[in-house]
Amino acid sequence: MTESIRTPRLELIGATVKILESDLSNKKELARLLRAEIPAAWPPPLMDEDVLRDFIRMCADTSVSGFSTWYWVRADPVAASRTLVGCGGVLPMEFAPDTVMLGYSVLDEFRNQGYATEAVRHLVPHVFSLPGIRRIAAATYPDLGASIRVLEKTGFEKTDLPLSGTGAEEGTVSYILEKR
């Protein structure tokens, strides 16, 4: 059974190899597996074919610890509808085995509605429950105010510590959340 996390408006569905492969090649199957409508604009920015192939590889490799990614489905009980609005998760950081890098993305039409904040707020306790994880890092571009607000609202603090690896490209600003 696929792991999921419920929030007030979302169901965060843990990615499996089958879900990721469907996202790569069969949106109809992805919709069936998520029990959700897949908007025509899917995937969100930066969730390209190369990223999906990397995620499939990490998801299939049980020796990769600290990897998890989630599909964010808006569950509207009033309208009896379910719509895929975004995704996010964590990747291990090679230089710091107790740290993972957080990434997330929301489709344009669902931005500025609080979905990323809601999802990250609920993912953080899950991430800190992973064995050995003491720190969550995140990087974003300084002109992405909405992304910075998500991090700040969920307790991340800006840091001058240099981050490297996926998500910490040149020109990004870094944030850290320590396990308490």
Looking at domain 4-178, its CATH architecture is 3-Layer(aba) Sandwich (3.40)
What pLDDT digit, counting tens, does each position of 150-171 carry? 999 999 999 987 665 555 567 7
pTM: 0.92
Q: How far apart are CA 76 and CA 71, in angstroms?
A: 16
What pLDDT digit, counting tens, does each position of 82-141 carry? 999 999 999 888 788 899 999 999 999 999 999 999 999 999 999 999 889 999 999 998
| CB-CB contact of 22 with 29 (8 Å) | yes
Q: How far apart are CA 180 and CA 74, in angstroms?
A: 30
23 — phi, psi (to 5°)? -60, -35
44 Cβ contact partners less than 8 Å away, ≥ 6 residues apart: 86, 87, 105, 106, 107, 108
Peptide bond into 44 cis (omega under 30): no
